[in-house]
Amino acid sequence: MFGKIFKSMHYHVSVYFALVAQYLKSRLVYRFDFFISSLGFLAGNVVGVLALWVIFQNINELVGWTYAELVFIYGFTLLALTLPLFLLNGLWDLGGKLQDGSFINYYFKPVNMLFYIMSEKFDEKGIVSLAFSVFLLVYASAELNLVWGFKTIATFLIMIIGASLVFASMILTAASVGFWTVNPSFCMMFIARIKSYAHYPINIYSNPLKIFFSFVLPLAYIAYYPCMVLLRPGEATIVAYISPLVGLVAALGAYRLWTLGVASFSGTGS
């Protein structure tokens, strides 16, 4: 059994990197666009951190959070978004393929349909996101005197995987809506824009937004609750500690919705 699992993993990893390599070669044909898009993404996040720095020139804390803690949350958020950036970029083309009927081609692929879509495109901005997020986390950890022992590292890895699953499930859910609306662009743009709210602690928002981001659109589980466990374990509630479970449940639910959408697709009828 383990041999079959290993062969399956090896096969899928090989397919993934082969497809990604082809995509990157095509992107590098237009190197200027490749680097400009990456630099633009980096500049946007640098501005976001600088905005925090400007705010803290006049205050010591923001609703009880220090500058270093907010930088840590910002870096954690970026890192949590990196894996979905790498893997789910192909879903942005889903609307067009549903409209022109070309999505039907995925039914004839020799691998899982979602896996193939994940392998087709690779968002190079994920490389920038990864590098900048690590920089912010290292800086904030030094400022907070955070000791990275085995327990802290293990907790961090579990929390970051759960956080990535939360955001990935939001993107996949938004994309899956397209099977019934034909064009999921509005839903996906909504998620892409509202994700910026995850950069900050939810206690800076009004009570209705706190409830919304905790129990309806779970942005708080992308960074705020996981970072509570890492930075303030004594103040973290059970809601924070179940963050990885929320990510797993959300991902399974999103994938179930995707499979229902795939089963309902019948082409354009033309």
Contacts of 257-260 spanning 24+ positions with Cβ under 8 A: 257/172, 257/173, 257/176, 258/114, 258/172, 258/175, 258/176, 260/176, 260/179
Q: Does 270 map to a domain?
A: no
| Average pLDDT value for residue range 64-82 | 93
Is 197 within the bounds of a domain? yes
Q: What is the pTM of this model?
A: 0.86
In a domain, 250, yes or no: yes
Residue 18, CB half-sphere, CA atoms under 13 Å: how many? Answer: 7
Kindly state whether residue 51 falls inside one of the protein's structural domains: yes
Does residue 269 fall inside a structural domain?
no
pLDDT digits (tens, 9 = 90+) for 194-239: 888 888 888 888 889 889 998 889 999 999 999 999 999 999 999 9
Is residue 75 in a domain? yes
Inside any domain, residue 87? yes
Residue 243 lies in a domain: yes
Q: How far apart are CA 74 and CA 68, in angstroms?
A: 10
Question: What is the rounded CA–CA span in Å between residue 63 and residue 236?
Answer: 16
Domain containing 172 equals 2-264
Residue 259: closest CA among 184, 179, 156, 158: 179
Domain count across the chain? 1
